[in-house]
Amino acid sequence: MKTKKYDVLNTETGRLDPTIYSDEEIYKEEMEKIFGRAWLLIGHESLIEKPGDFFHTYMGEQPVILSRDKTGAINAMLNICRHRGARVVRTDDGSCKSFVCPYHAWTYGLDGKLEWVPGEEELYDGTIDRAEMGLKKARVATYAGLIFATWDHDAPSLEDYLGDARWYLDLEFNRSAKGTKAFGPHKWVIPINWKTAVDNCSDWYHVPYSHASAANALTRIMGAPRMTSDVLWKKKGRAAFVNGHQVCFFRLPDDSFDGNPYGMDSTEENHAEAIERLGELRGDGVMLGTHSLFPNTVLGFRIVIPRGPNETEFWHFSHTNAADTPEKQREVALEHAAQNGAGGHFESDDIDNWNQVSQSGKYAGAREIGQYINMGIGNTTTDDVFPGQLSDRFVSEQNHRFFYSRWQEFMNADSWDDIPLDPMKANFEGTASMDG
Ligand code: FES
Ligand code: FE
C-alpha cells in the first residue's frame, strides 16, 4: 500500500489547502490520476447521428476524435497521428469516409484502424505493421445518449461509476424514449482552475449575492420566483452525493422554482411517458436541480476542460427533450444560453469569483490561512427513499467537501483498486435504463 500523499482537506474543520488550484506539479498529476482514469463526459449521440459523423472533443487536455463508424459503433480516439504526432483532425466536427493526416497523409478508418500509408512498399519496404499502428483508442460507454470515455481499461463500468447518482440524473436525461438532443457547444477560455467551476455547482450560498442583479432581472422582467437569501435559506431542496458526483433535487410541486403543471415536461403526453419510464415518484414527484459529475461535468451538459492550473476551456451545451417540437427546443436552448452561455447573465458573475479563488493558491498568506468549506459539517444523512449521502438542507458546503474528498481518493490511489465506489441501493422503478 502506498503512503498517503495528499491531505488537503480537513473533514472535521472544513479547512482546504488552496495550493491545489495553482501548483504546476499537482496539475500534472491530476491529468494522469484523475483525467487518465475517470469516466469523462465527451459528447452526445445526437452530435454524431450517422455513420461517418465525427465530433472533436477532449479528455482532460488530450485531443480526441469521437466518431461513428460504418457499423454504427462509437469510437473515441486520441487525435495524434501514429507517424509523427500531428493532429489528424483539425476541425470541430463533420462527416467523412476516413481520417487523413494532413502532414504525410497516413489514413485511418472511422474506427481508427490504419488503412493506408503513402509509399508503404516503395519507401518502407512493406515493414509497417498496420494492425499495430491504429489511433490510440479509449474505452467508450453511453448513458441515455450521453457519451463517456476513459483511458483506463481497468476502470469499473460506467454504470457502477455513476452508481445511484443515475437515479437522479434519469429525472432530466431519461424521461423520454426519444432521449435528449444536444445544441452547441459555446466555447470560451477563462483564467480559472477547473475545480472551482465544479465545486460551485451546488453553492447556492453565493446566488443571492453574486447573482443579485441577474436574479432580480429574471423576477422583475420574466416573473421568475425570487432568489433572495430569505427564500433560499428556507428552501426545502436537498443534495445527494454518490462517488464524488452531486445532484440537487426538489420535491414537486412544493419545492420547485417554476410552476410548470407537468413538472419538467412540456406536455401532458411527455409527462405520462416520464411516469411510465421512471415510476410515479421520480416521474411526477421529484425534480433535478443543479448537479455535477466527477470530475468535470457541471450543471447539465457542460464540461470544464483543463488547460493549465489557472486556465480552463468551458463548453456549454444545451440539451433539450428530443420529443419536443423544434420551436420548443430552440426556446430551451436560447434560455440556457441566456443564463449560462458565454455571455449569460449568471455565467459572467461566476467567472470572476472562480478566478479569485483560483489565484489565492499563489500567495503564501492564503496558503497559511487556508480556505473554509465547513458549512453544514456533520449534517449528512441517509434516507430510505432517496439514495446516496444526503444534505439535510438546501444551502450547504457538503458538495465541496464530497468533491475534494473524491479528488483526494483519486490523487492518493495507485490504481482503480484503491478507489472505492459507493454500493448501489437505489430502486430504479420504470422502464428507463442505461441505454435510454
Ligand atoms: Fe501524420 Fe506524418 S504526422 S502522416
Ligand atoms: Fe453562480
| pLDDT, tens digit only, all 436 positions of the chain | 455 689 999 999 999 999 999 999 999 999 999 999 999 999 999 999 999 999 999 999 999 999 999 999 999 999 999 999 999 999 999 999 999 999 999 999 999 999 999 999 999 999 999 999 999 999 999 999 999 999 999 999 999 999 999 999 999 999 999 999 999 999 999 999 999 999 998 899 999 999 999 888 888 888 888 889 999 999 989 999 999 999 999 988 777 666 566 777 888 999 999 999 999 999 999 999 999 999 999 978 899 999 999 999 999 998 888 888 999 888 888 888 887 888 788 888 899 999 999 999 999 999 999 999 999 999 999 999 999 999 999 999 999 999 999 999 999 999 999 999 999 999 999 999 999 9
C-alpha–C-alpha distance, residues 403 and 244, integer Å: 5
From the CA of 85, give the closest atom in ligand 1.
3
From the CA of 86, give the closest atom in ligand 1.
3
Per the CB < 8 A criterion, the answer to whether 177 and 277 are in contact is yes
Per the CB < 8 A criterion, the answer to whether 163 and 243 are in contact is yes
DSSP states of 320-355? EETTS-HHHHHHHHHHHHHHHSTT-HHHHHHHHHHH
Residue ranges matching CATH 3.90.380.10 in the chain = 163-418
Question: 177, 179, 185, 235: which is closest to 207 by C-alpha?
Answer: 235
Best of 89, 98, 101 for a ligand 1 pocket test (most atoms within 8 Å of beta carbon): 101
C-alpha–C-alpha distance, residues 91 and 74, integer Å: 19
From the CA of 81, give the closest atom in ligand 1.
1
CA–centroid distance, 61 to ligand 2, in Å, is 25
Best of 80, 82, 83, 88 for a ligand 1 pocket test (most atoms within 8 Å of beta carbon): 83
C-alpha–C-alpha distance, residues 105 and 88, integer Å: 9
CATH 3.30.70.100, applies to 40-141:
no
DSSP state of 9: B
- pLDDT score for 223: 82
Strands 107-108 and 114-116, sheet pairing? antiparallel
Residue 262 has φ and ψ, to the nearest 5°, of: -105, 25
AA identity, residue 203: D
**Residue 254: how many other CB atoms lie within 10 Å:** 7
Question: Would you state the cell numbers that stand for residue 29, as one nine-digit string?
Answer: 498529476
CA–centroid distance, 203 to ligand 2, in Å, is 7
Grid look-up 445511484 returns: 164
From the CA of 84, give the closest atom in ligand 1.
3
3-state DSSP assignment of residue 7: coil
How large is the C-alpha radius of gyration of the chain?
22
- pLDDT score for 3: 57
Per the CB < 8 A criterion, the answer to whether 248 and 202 are in contact is yes
Residue ranges matching CATH 2.102.10.10 in the chain = 40-141
Burial of 355 (0-12, 13-18, 19+ CB in 10 A): middle
Residue 249: CA count within 13 A, CB half-sphere = 28
- pLDDT score for 2: 56
255-260's contacts with Cβ under 8 Å and 24+ in sequence apart are 255/287, 256/287, 257/224, 257/225, 258/224, 258/225
CA–centroid distance, 210 to ligand 2, in Å, is 7
- CA-closest residue to ligand 1 atom 2: 104
Neighbours of ion ligand 2 (CB under 5 A): 350
DSSP states of 62-73? EEEEEEE-TTS-
End-to-end CA distance of the chain: 40
CA–centroid distance, 373 to ligand 2, in Å, is 16
Q: Counting ligands in written order, which one lies closest to the CA of residue 214?
A: 2
Where would I find the H helices in 240-387? 268-285, 326-340, 345-360, 364-369
CA–centroid distance, 348 to ligand 2, in Å, is 9
CA–centroid distance, 100 to ligand 1, in Å, is 9
CATH of 163-418, one of 3.40.50.720, 3.40.50.300, 3.40.640.10, 3.90.380.10: 3.90.380.10
Q: Which residues sit with their C-beta closer than 6 Å to ligand 1?
A: 81, 83-84, 86, 101, 103-106
CA–centroid distance, 28 to ligand 2, in Å, is 27
AA identity, residue 384: D
From the CA of 105, give the closest atom in ligand 1.
4
Contacts of 274 (CB under 8 A, 6+ apart): 175, 176, 263, 264, 265, 283, 284
Question: Would you state the cell numbers that stand for residue 248, as one nine-digit string?
Answer: 440537487
Q: Counting ligands in written order, which one lies closest to the CA of residue 196?
A: 2
C-alpha–C-alpha distance, residues 139 and 302, integer Å: 21
Q: Counting ligands in written order, which one lies closest to the CA of residue 128?
A: 1
Provide the whole-model pTM. 0.96
Per the CB < 8 A criterion, the answer to whether 64 and 77 are in contact is yes
Q: Counting ligands in written order, which one lies closest to the CA of residue 210?
A: 2
C-alpha–C-alpha distance, residues 83 and 73, integer Å: 25
- CA-closest residue to ligand 1 atom 3: 84
CA–centroid distance, 304 to ligand 1, in Å, is 30
- pLDDT score for 61: 97
CA–centroid distance, 109 to ligand 1, in Å, is 15
3-state DSSP assignment of residue 40: strand
Best of 81, 115, 120 for a ligand 1 pocket test (most atoms within 8 Å of beta carbon): 81
Q: Is the dihedral of CA 367, 362, 342, 318 positive or negative?
A: negative
